[in-house]
Structure 1
Amino acid sequence: MTTPVTDSGLTDSDEQRWRAMLEWLKGHGMLIDEDHLLVRPKHVADAGNGLFAIVDIPRQSPLFTLPSKTKINAETLGHYPRSELLTATQLMSLHLLLHRPVDGHESDDPNFGPYISMLPRDFGSHPLTWVVHQSLGVASREECKVMDLMPPSVLAELLLLEKRFRTDWEAVRQYLDNLPELSQQRRSKGVHSELILDFMWGWINVNTRCLYDDLGLDKDDNMSLCPVFDFANHAWFQPTMEPLREGESENWQVERRSPGERGNLDLVCVSCDRGIARDQEVTLRYGWHPNRTLFVEYGFVNAIKPEEFMSGVYPGEVNVQDIVTDLLDQQGDAGTFVKKTLDAEGYWGDWTFHSSPSPAHASFRLITALRLYHTFPTRPDFGGAVSENGMNTASRAWRDTIMGYTDDISEANEKACGETIREICRKVIERAEIGLKCVKEGEEGGGGWYSKSLGIVEQLWTEELWVARAVLLKLS
């Protein structure tokens, strides 16, 4: 049976939910007439719903103003008993868990029900869903296949995301155990795995849709879920909308806010330096993230052309931590010393190649790690060439480079680093070519979300291939 859709491309159900949410917002003081709410959601092919202008909008003009009490955050959820035990992410995810709409129905939350009912109902195509399903033993063959085909750097970042999720779930689980009257609200869900999946639904909504919002709380708690605003899709280049808080603007220009203006204030969304045409999509920049991070955190990637990589316009990135770690593991005691030194000095991990700014290059963190690596003979039987304070002569020269006292250790060291970077590039290129071939083979018999996900994995491998080639070309 085909689901009816409206002129906007929304399903009838989503259109009804949008109207119900507008009435709820109006009841909380939001102006929703066409002079004050200049946007509305529409369906976007292959991207879900997006936000679109209903009129021509000049540059730096207000699109709508969202009342503070309609935002879900640590302040508006402060009524929970001992809410200070939870972070904002945990608290908001808990609230969504407790008020998740049951299939075919709307949220039962008396305060934010119309907004929660408007949130995405399913995250089956989000990579966190696959890895959690796998841990619960309920992953489909397609979910396992897509994870098997991911670049190692992407899978490593996904497992870090799962670790964050698990930490938050454990905190909320313990919180519910101590407050049985709350957990009773979802007791009908039964088994543990279903409860964690409901929490995962809430957690992904929070992780993908929250806006940074300076509420005057601890650093990681300054965030809010914001109705209407969260329909806006990501644009890595030239977004058309930005959020401001009440008191943050004058003639819609951003100002430095005084400490007294911190708190749960109204949110004003304005157009950027360019105007927005009627029916044009209104977009945000979620951040200058590589496709690896966008995919793991949000479940999508930027579609990039080869020339945008090669010209340095697009900030492509490859994380090569697994390759460098393998190099160190092969060096016995020397590798162990390098690991400890890098960790102590804050240079362990996050070793990357970049396509931007041009020319393509290895990150300073990677160069720093390789400089130290090449201060020792590359042999497993490394012995006592370390002074009492843990540094030999060469590694003391390395420390001078990170302190800015000198540009490099020696010409020979720089040459060795360059050759190792070339070798890392070749390894990235080789495995990317193999990965792309495997993705092509995995496309047989696929469809729906599986084919779309394989297309994303193909783009992830392609980004690694292009960036590594660009870095290798620069070193030629």
Structure 2
Amino acid sequence: MTLTDSGLTDCHERRWNALLEWLQGHGMMVDEDHLPVRPKNVAGARLGLFAIVDIPPRTPILTLPSKAKINMATLGHYPYSKRLTATQLISLHLLLYKPAPGCESDDPHFAPYISILPRDFGDHPLTWAVHRTLGAGSREEHSLLRLLPPSVLSDLLLLERRFWKDWEAVLLYLDDLPDLSSPRRRPRTQSELILDFVWAWLNVNTRCLYDDLGLGKDNNMSLCPVFDFANHAWMQPTMEPVRAAGSEIWRPGRCSPGGDGNTDLVCVSCERGIVRDQEVTLSYGWHSNRTLFVEYGFANAITSEELMSGVYPGQVNVQDIVTTWLDCRGELGTFVKGTLEAEGYWGDWTIHCSPLPTQASFRLITALRLYHSFPEGAGVWSEEETTAASRRWRDTILGHEEVVSEENEKACEESIGEICEVVIKRAERGIEAVKEDMRMESEVSEWFQDVLVAVDFLWFEERAVAKAMLIA
């Protein structure tokens, strides 16, 4: 393979040109005046969108026809498609039309687009998790899973649970409709089929845009050609989507105005405009590195100054620490857990550095207030005492009281300090473990080195947020 001036291989360049021809056939204008961006290779062997001319502020960059998007509307030809969610249906379609190695997709509707999608997600943590569940996986994958912070690993297990749930739904759908498994589909073992579904599912999970199709919340999403080349920028993205029917901005994860079904997608430059050869970026959402790494497979390169400034959404989930404390309290800990679950306050206990001052989340404070409503060493609690203590705690949730008591509030503050100390110590151990693996860089692959850097950022963020919390 040779590289073009854009850093693309001949293969990528050919697929890009095929995509443009296909989009033009769907009514999209793809000349320089109407599509002033092209893909290029960027650091880390990723593809990104770059401007090929200067683009003034608030100027349309592309207008994607509705029929060129992959969503529940354009996949409405599947029988009984409403049995599946959007994630399941789009993933199923990609699974059925996944290109064979070295080939293009044979999908009669979206072949040029599917052919240009990423062919491999070996560096995404979900791939490692599924490999492990299947009793497979490389030494590098097992090593990376071992190096992840507990909060990241916990979120990854939740993501894997979502994946298996969607796989089971798709498998049941295919069992009921065997004709969908076309004779043209290459034979695959069960493990190969699952791993192909990982590829399909990750393309959906990492590239779909929230798109108000007038459907249920979980079904308002679309795969959008060209637009999905844009990489994430946590500050000052250069592009954002708007509704074709109006100028109001809508973003991934937020309901767009109108809700009038499948419409064209228009993307415009932001307030600063874009200069030639500048990367065109998009905000994937106001997420900490933990979320970005688990969902998308990358982490922001951040500094201590950015974390301390209050503008970066740094966050640490400390559920594993608090859960350990509850487990040590025996039956009383079980009672506290049950009460928190019943009241909707179990889990998602975080400390975060934005907005300033760095603080514990209300959910964490609420859990600690209940935990300290039953001080250790106070003997056996009667049913009447337990009920009374729980009632005082509930008053803080309902807004009848600001605190349970001064003693309770002091104990909560001390516990938050203890939590931060635990986070800092384990982060320092994690950073050292990553450095140890980095010292072996001559013996490992390039992608492994890149992911190690991302894992280092994960630990760095947790330590920095905990330190900021201690001095807040």
Q: Is the TM-score greater than 0.5?
A: yes
RMSD across aligned positions (CA)? 1.8
Q: Corresponding residue for 1:472? A: 470
Q: Corresponding residue for 2:362? A: 364
State yes or no: 1:343 paired with 2:338: no
User: Which amino acid counterpart does residue 25 of structure 2 have in structure 1?
Assistant: G
Q: Corresponding residue for 2:27? A: 29
Q: Quick check: 2:212–2:256 contact (8 Å CA) kept in 1?
A: no
1:363, CA displacement in angstroms? 0.8
Q: Corresponding residue for 2:62? A: 64
Give the secondary-structure state (helix, strand or coil) at the position aligned to 1:309: helix
1:65, CA displacement in angstroms? 0.4
User: Which amino acid counterpart does residue 263 of structure 1 have in structure 2?
Assistant: G
1:202, CA displacement in angstroms? 0.5
TM norm structure 1: 0.95
User: Which amino acid counterpart does residue 315 of structure 2 have in structure 1?
Assistant: E
Matches within 5 A, 1:11-22: 11-22=9-20
Please point out which of 429, 437, 460 is paired with 1:442.
Answer: 437
1:70, CA displacement in angstroms? 0.3
Q: Quick check: 1:98–1:186 contact (8 Å CA) kept in 2?
A: no
State yes or no: 1:397 paired with 2:395: no
Give the secondary-structure state (helix, strand or coil) at the position aligned to 1:72: coil
Q: Corresponding residue for 2:43? A: 45
Distance in 1 between residues matched to 2:380 and 2:225, nearest whole Å: 60
Distance in 1 between residues matched to 2:33 and 2:358, nearest whole Å: 47
Distance in 1 between residues matched to 2:343 and 2:37, nearest whole Å: 49
Please point out which of 172, 176, 179 is paired with 1:178.
Answer: 176
State yes or no: 1:263 paired with 2:258: no
Please point out which of 458, 461, 467 is paired with 2:459.
Answer: 461
Give the secondary-structure state (helix, strand or coil) at the position aligned to 2:181: helix
Q: Quick check: 2:35–2:62 contact (8 Å CA) kept in 1?
A: yes
1:462, CA displacement in angstroms? 0.8
1:380, CA displacement in angstroms? 9.7
User: Which amino acid counterpart does residue 239 of structure 1 have in structure 2?
Assistant: P
Distance in 1 between residues matched to 2:211 and 2:390, nearest whole Å: 44
Name the CA shift for 1:216/1:187 in 2 (closer, same or farther; >3 Å): same
1:457, CA displacement in angstroms? 1.0
Q: Corresponding residue for 2:326? A: 328
Q: Quick check: 2:206–2:296 contact (8 Å CA) kept in 1?
A: yes
Deviations 1:222-278 (A, max 9, x none): 00000000000000001111111221328x899x9775x510000001111221111
1:82, CA displacement in angstroms? 0.9
Greater alpha carbon shift after TM alignment, 71-80 vs 444-453: 444-453
Q: Corresponding residue for 2:71? A: 73
Distance in 2 between residues matched to 1:28 and 1:84, nearest whole Å: 26
Distance in 2 between residues matched to 1:418 and 1:435, nearest whole Å: 26
Name the CA shift for 1:208/1:380 in 2 (closer, same or farther; >3 Å): farther
1:187, CA displacement in angstroms? 5.4
Deviations 1:310-346 (A, max 9, x none): 2222111000000000111111222111111111111
Name the CA shift for 1:145/1:253 in 2 (closer, same or farther; >3 Å): closer
User: Which amino acid counterpart does residue 310 of structure 2 have in structure 1?
Assistant: G
Q: Corresponding residue for 1:413? A: 408
Matches within 5 A, 1:136-147: 136-147=134-145
Q: Corresponding residue for 1:109? A: 107
Distance in 2 between residues matched to 1:258 and 1:436, nearest whole Å: 44
Q: Quick check: 1:59–1:273 contact (8 Å CA) kept in 2?
A: yes
User: Which amino acid counterpart does residue 189 of structure 2 have in structure 1?
Assistant: V
Greater alpha carbon shift after TM alignment, 370-379 vs 462-471: 370-379
Which contiguous aligned blocks of 4+ residues in structure 1 show a shift greater than 2 angstroms?
183-190, 256-259, 379-383, 391-395
User: Which amino acid counterpart does residue 409 of structure 1 have in structure 2?
Assistant: V
Q: Corresponding residue for 1:282? A: 280
Matches within 5 A, 1:118-157: 118-157=116-155
User: Which amino acid counterpart does residue 363 of structure 1 have in structure 2?
Assistant: S
User: Which amino acid counterpart does residue 273 of structure 1 have in structure 2?
Assistant: E
Q: Quick check: 1:177–1:183 contact (8 Å CA) kept in 2?
A: no
Distance in 2 between residues matched to 1:74 and 1:170, nearest whole Å: 19
Name the CA shift for 1:317/1:258 in 2 (closer, same or farther; >3 Å): closer
Give the secondary-structure state (helix, strand or coil) at the position aligned to 1:282: strand
1:157, CA displacement in angstroms? 0.5
1:421, CA displacement in angstroms? 0.7
User: Which amino acid counterpart does residue 236 of structure 1 have in structure 2?
Assistant: W
1:55, CA displacement in angstroms? 1.3
User: Which amino acid counterpart does residue 57 of structure 1 have in structure 2?
Assistant: I
User: Which amino acid counterpart does residue 224 of structure 1 have in structure 2?
Assistant: S
Distance in 2 between residues matched to 1:356 and 1:47, nearest whole Å: 31
User: Which amino acid counterpart does residue 147 of structure 1 have in structure 2?
Assistant: L
Distance in 2 between residues matched to 1:397 and 1:4, nearest whole Å: 71
Matches within 5 A, 1:223-262: 223-249=221-247, 259=258, 262=260
User: Which amino acid counterpart does residue 60 of structure 1 have in structure 2?
Assistant: R
Distance in 1 between residues matched to 2:389 and 2:184, nearest whole Å: 61
Distance in 2 between residues matched to 1:159 and 1:405, nearest whole Å: 38
Please point out which of 294, 301, 304 is paired with 1:296.
Answer: 294
Name the CA shift for 1:242/1:258 in 2 (closer, same or farther; >3 Å): closer
1:47, CA displacement in angstroms? 5.3
Q: Quick check: 2:241–2:250 contact (8 Å CA) kept in 1?
A: no
Identity, in percent, stands at 66
Give the secondary-structure state (helix, strand or coil) at the position aligned to 1:249: coil
Q: Quick check: 1:65–1:269 contact (8 Å CA) kept in 2?
A: yes
Q: Quick check: 2:250–2:256 contact (8 Å CA) kept in 1?
A: no
1:451, CA displacement in angstroms? 1.1
Give the secondary-structure state (helix, strand or coil) at the position aligned to 1:419: helix
